[in-house]
Structure 1
Amino acid sequence: MPAFIGRRKRGAILSYFKLFLSFVAIVMAANIALSVAMYKSAERHSVRLVQTSTAEALGQISYSTNFMFEAAKMTLIQLYANPSVLKLMNQADLSELEMASLLNQVGSVHLNLPFLNSIYIYNRRAGHMYFDGKAYAADDFPDRDIVRRLREGGIANLRPIARAIPAPEGYASSSPSLEQTDAVYSFVFYDSSSSPIANAIVLNVSQQWLQHTIESMDPRVSGNTLVVDSAGQIVVGNAEYGYLSGARADERIAPILAAEAPAGHFIRTTEGRKELVTYVSSPLPDWKYIRFTPYAAIAGTFKQLVVWTWVIFGIVTVLSVLAALYISRFVYGLFNRKIRELETRHDREKNSDFSKKQQFLRLLASRELEEEVLRQRLARYQIAFRLELGFMTVVFKIDRYAAYCRQYTQADRELLAYGIMNVSSELAAPYAVHEAVDLGNGYLALLLNLDVQDSEAVAIRLERLAADIQDKVASYLGQSLSAALGEGVEELTDIPSSIARCFEALEYTLYEGPRALLHVSRIEAIKKKEYDLPEEAVKALIAALFEGDGEAMRRQCGVLVESTRGHAAASVQTMVLRLAMALKEGLQPYRALADEMNYGPFLELAGRIAELETLEELSERLHMLMARLLDVARRSQQAMQKYERYSEILQEVRAYVEADYANPNLSPDLIAQRFELSAKYLRTLYLKASGESLGESITRYRLERAKALLEGDGLTVQEAAERSGFVNVNYFYTLFKKYNGITPNEFRNRSVMKSR
Structure 2
Amino acid sequence: MRLQRIRFYKRSVIVNWLISYLSVLLVPIMISGMIYAATWHVVESEVNRANESVLQKMEQAIDSNLGGIERLSMEMALSKRLGAFMNVNKPLTDNDYYELFSIASDLRVYKMANDYIEQIYVYYKNSDTVLSTREHIDSRALFERLGAKDDRGLEEWKSFFGKRYIQEYVPVTSLEDGPPAKAVMYAKSVILDNPDLPGAVILFIIKDAKLLENIRTPNNAAVAVLDQHDRMVASTGFDMRPSLLAHSRLPGKNGLLYGDVAGEQTAVSYITSDSTGWKYVSMIPAELFDEKMKYVKNLIYWSIGLSLAIGGLVTYLFLKKNYNPISALIRRLSSQSGISFEEGSNEYGYLHEALNNTFAEKEKIGQRLERHRNAIRSHMLQGLLKGRLEPNVPVHESLAAHNIRLMSPHFAVLLLHVDHYGKFASTDDAQPQKEKLAHFILMNVAEEVAGQRHQAFATELEGVLACIVNLDEARPEASELDWIAEEARRFLLDHFHIRLTVAISGIHREVEGISRAYQEAMAALEYRLVMGSGEIIRYAELPSAAPDGGSAGYYYPLHVEQQLVNFVKTGDYAKSKAMIDEIIEVNVTSASVSVPLAKCLMFDLISTMLKTMDELGMSNKREFVNRVNPADRLIGCKTIKEMKIQLGDVLEQVCRSILEDRNQGQNQLGQQVIDYVKRHYSSENLNITMIGEAFGLTPSYVSKQFKAHTGEALLEFINKMRLEEAKKLLAGQPMAIAEIARSVGYADINTFNRVFKKYEGITPGKFKEIASP
Q: State if a TM-score over 0.5 links the two structures.
A: no
- TM superposition score normalised by structure 2: 0.29
If you compute each CA radius of gyration, which structure gives the higher value, 1 or 2? 1
- TM superposition score normalised by structure 1: 0.30
